[in-house]
Amino acid sequence: MAKTVTPHANPTDTKEQISWRERFAALGNLPAFFRLVWETSPGLFLGNASLRLIRAAIPAATLYIGKLIIDQVVALNKHTAGSTPDDTNYLWWLVAAEFGLAIISTALGRAVSLMDSLLGDLFANKTSIRLMEHAATLDLEQFEDATFYDKLERARRQTTGRTVLLSGVFGQVQELISVAFLAAGLAIYNPWLLLLILLAVTPSFIGDNYFNQRSYSLSRSWTPERRELDYLRFIGASDETAKEVKIFGLSNFLIDRFRSLSWEYFLKNRSLAISRAGWGTLLTALGTAGYYGAYVWIVMRAVGGQISLGDLTFLAGSFRQVRGSLEGILLQFSSLTQEAIYLQDLFDYFAIQPSIHSPGIARPFPNPIREGFVFENVGFKYTNSERWALRNLSFTLHAGEKLALVGENGAGKTTLVKLLARLYDPAEGRILLDGYDLREYDLMELRRNIGVIFQDYTRFKMSAGVNIAVGDIDERTNQPRIEASAQRSLADTVIAKLAGGYDQQLGRSFGKGVELSGGEWQKVALGRAYMRDAQLIILDEPTAALDARAEYEVFQRFGKLTDGKSSVIISHRFSTVRMADRILVLENGTLLEIGSHYELLEKDGRYAELFGLQARGYQ
């Protein structure tokens, strides 16, 4: 049976430093990112970009009109006697223009955030779908690897968070254009003012960069622990684990583990947040000092009469805005590069390629299978294990044959089945189907022709009908077929007792779901084997949870179903096993014996011994 991956237990303190080179390199992810956003919705993308462009010109225009208004007011005050109604009208036109700009700016701001959020939602959905689509192509082995899970977890977080990047980059461009307008105005008066602004914002930029990088390193190096926290939260409060948590009194153990791990993470984050706040205040104060230095200079020029009152407000306003915007741009830049680095995680995940796939030109799948499957010296080792799970395995599963696999726990029975379905490929030797390597056939075709019900089958929290239809999901609306399958697997009697019949939600996670007993679930899961029109049907301990009468009936029906088809049954019950044409006995991953029930009894080897043990138990 497949082993679950346990998350990292000990927090790692490894600091993953990100250099400036890597930051700039991460910006290289932006084109691919924008392609994704563009594919999400070209209309929203273009609309967003154009509205932001228009909005970028508004601050400079507003300030300039403000300057004109003040100059006009001053002029009117000086020459009250000589002013014409045209002068006053001009003033009111200016005020109206500024009011108009304010309204347009607010409306554009709202429209832009609306588009941001719509695009963000669509983007999150699209990326989640791509994530699932990509997961479907990957190898089972990759799912059993902890580092893969770390990558998957980081990628999953990207699906919702990356819209920040989207509005970030758009906002950045908008701000840059705004600043260009304002800076042009400033430069006309005095280019040195621009330099002063740059100097004023540099310290806080450097500080922020530093802290952004540290927070990324922290969050990255804590990925396994964050996964463990999620896992603890799940097993601490889930219907799947509730009974064992109660019976064994595990809640304090789980809570303590959660508390200590989350506290440790909190402490690390807290110390980072505190030093960030302290340094941030100090460095921003430096910038503020620079700003007021320039302000004093402008005021003195106004007092000295070198510039008008309108110029004073325009300059002071532009100066304040340019400083704010530049600070924003630089800060954004550092968080942008950080976001772009996170983006790398998403693309890293998409770049993972499966090693098990179909050949470029696939051989047509035999229908019917004529000779059968031949294992030639097959060996297989799980990547995270030193031990051979199977070794030197050679035998033939003839077309139409019913084969039973027997062996102690861990002997390699489930592994053998997984190799047959190409969930893994052999590390040594090969498996042939009608004379050709399994790898020469189309993977989807192969899987379509093999139906496997694993001992750890999934209890989908969906309707009873869907739980059977997963055996051939394209036929999920074929009610007669679902019912016929249910009848063969004895699930019909289970479903007849459910208030909602085939539409009854199973499991207690959603709505009015009901829970089934272990044996009832197994009958439902067995229905999947009958749904599938496969040439080889494999049942991995299919009746372990069934009562004796149900087991007998299931096998009577299974015998009929598989007439003319090949089947493999894994079972520890010899009453089931003896019905097979041949029995293959595995020990420590190698073939010990193979033959019919009577041949093996006559041989008086391991099978005879195990059979005798069980038979005596019933006497």
Q: By CB under 6 A, name the binding residues for ligand ATP.
A: 1-3, 144, 382, 384-385, 389, 407, 409-415
- Which of 399/405 has CB closer to ligand ATP? 405
Tell whether omega for the bond before 368 is within 30 degrees of 0, i.e. cis.
yes
- Whose CA is closest to 347, among 163, 23, 123, 130? 130
- Which of 150/339 has CB closer to ligand ATP? 150
- Which of 410/513 has CB closer to ligand ATP? 410
- Which of 165/403 has CB closer to ligand ATP? 403
Give yes or no for a contact between 105 and 57, defined as CB atoms under 8 angstroms apart: no
Q: Is beta strand 402-407 parallel, antiparallel or unpaired with respect to 582-587?
A: parallel
* Pairwise CA distance, residues 325 & 312, whole Å: 19
Phi-psi category of 551—alpha, beta or left, where left has phi over 0 and alpha has psi -120 to 50? alpha
CB of 405 to ligand ATP, least distance (A): 8
* Pairwise CA distance, residues 113 & 552, whole Å: 65
* Pairwise CA distance, residues 388 & 586, whole Å: 13
- Which of 197/537 has CB closer to ligand ATP? 537
Give yes or no for a contact between 593 and 607, defined as CB atoms under 8 angstroms apart: yes
307 in helix, strand or coil?
Answer: coil
Give yes or no for a contact between 331 and 143, defined as CB atoms under 8 angstroms apart: no
Tell whether omega for the bond before 224 is within 30 degrees of 0, i.e. cis.
no
Q: Is beta strand 436-437 parallel, antiparallel or unpaired with respect to 582-587?
A: unpaired
CB of 471 to ligand ATP, least distance (A): 21
Instruction: Write the DSSP string, 439-462.
Output: GGB-HHHHHHTEEEE-TT----SS
Q: Is beta strand 388-398 parallel, antiparallel or unpaired with respect to 372-381?
A: antiparallel
CB of 542 to ligand ATP, least distance (A): 12
One-letter amino acid at 54 equals: I
* Pairwise CA distance, residues 109 & 411, whole Å: 66
Torsion of Cα atoms, 410 then 414 then 416 then 419, to 10°? -130
- Which of 161/410 has CB closer to ligand ATP? 410
- Which of 222/521 has CB closer to ligand ATP? 521
C-beta atoms surrounding 192 within 10 Å: 12
* Pairwise CA distance, residues 572 & 214, whole Å: 55
- Which of 19/409 has CB closer to ligand ATP? 409
- Which of 405/468 has CB closer to ligand ATP? 405
CB of 532 to ligand ATP, least distance (A): 21
CB of 2 to ligand ATP, least distance (A): 5
CB of 381 to ligand ATP, least distance (A): 9
Please give the biggest Cα pair distance in the chain. Answer: 129
Q: Which two tokens stand for residue 571?
A: 């079972």
C-beta atoms surrounding 462 within 10 Å: 16
- Which of 55/381 has CB closer to ligand ATP? 381
- Which of 48/414 has CB closer to ligand ATP? 414
* Pairwise CA distance, residues 49 & 101, whole Å: 19
CB of 525 to ligand ATP, least distance (A): 16
Angle formed by the axes of helices 309-351 and 146-161, nearest 10°:
150
CB of 144 to ligand ATP, least distance (A): 5
CB of 606 to ligand ATP, least distance (A): 14
